[in-house]
């Protein structure tokens, strides 16, 4: 066997080994990324009316601004637009909370927020996702009085 042929065979073997190693590395990276994924199939808002009246808030939009998939342990933001349908009283938005395993990290604007009759308010709610992978429904609860 000639020296040139031996060199070609060695080069081909090295290229094949490197290609297999690269494919294995990419495959592991994809598996790792999928393993850390949190899927949010459903997002909704609930209300905790602590005052003497209730049913005076409505959503202008659904929580379509919430992502469907996030990385485990990451923080993401949902936009919530509330409208006061109250006929007489001013009401206050006191808190936002999330069902476990989610948690609310922050809310903007700073709470409490006063909502006059017929007023609307837009909130940016930062939420921490669970660290473990899985599929979890998200419910944000608005505490108001």
Q: Rounding to the nearest 10 degrees, give the CA dihedral for residues 20, 24, 26, 32.
A: 180
Q: What are phi and psi of 143, to 5 degrees?
A: -95, 125
Structurally, how many domains does the chain consist of? 2
Whether 42 and 113 share a structural domain = yes
Whether 42 and 88 share a structural domain = yes
| Radius of gyration from C-alpha coordinates of the chain | 26
Whether 70 and 111 share a structural domain = yes
**Which stretch of 23-32, 36-45, 70-79 has the lowest confidence by average pLDDT?**
23-32
Q: Of 49 and 112, which is predicted with more confidence?
A: 112
Instruction: For residues 95-109, give the mean pLDDT.
Output: 96
- Enter the pTM of the model: 0.73
Q: Of 32 and 92, which is predicted with more confidence?
A: 92
Distance of CA 96 to the CA centre of its chain: 15
> What is the 3 state secondary structure string of 28-61?
HHHHHHHHCEEECCCEEEEEEECCCCCCCEEECC
Whether 78 and 136 share a structural domain = yes
Query: What's the confidence (pLDDT) of residue 67?
Result: 92
Note the pLDDT tens digit of each residue in 4-24.
Answer: 656 545 655 555 555 555 555
| Domain carrying residue 3 | 1-35
């Amino acid at each position: 066997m000639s020296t040139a042929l031996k060199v070609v065979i060695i080069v081909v073997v090295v290229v094949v080994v490197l290609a297999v190693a690269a494919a294995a590395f990419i495959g592991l990276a994809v598996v790792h990324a999928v393993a850390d994924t949190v899927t949010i199939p459903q997002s909704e808002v609930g209300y905790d009316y602590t005052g003497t009246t209730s049913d005076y808030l409505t959503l202008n939009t659904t929580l379509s601004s919430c992502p469907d998939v996030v990385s485990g342990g990451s923080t993401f933001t949902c936009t919530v637009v509330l409208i006061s349908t109250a006929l007489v009283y001013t009401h206050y938005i006191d808190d936002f909370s999330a069902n476990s395993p989610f948690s609310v990290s922050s809310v903007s604007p700073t709470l409490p927020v006063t909502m006059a009759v017929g007023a609307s308010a837009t909130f940016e709610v930062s939420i921490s996702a669970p660290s473990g992978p899985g599929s979890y429904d998200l419910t944000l609860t608005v505490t108001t009085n």
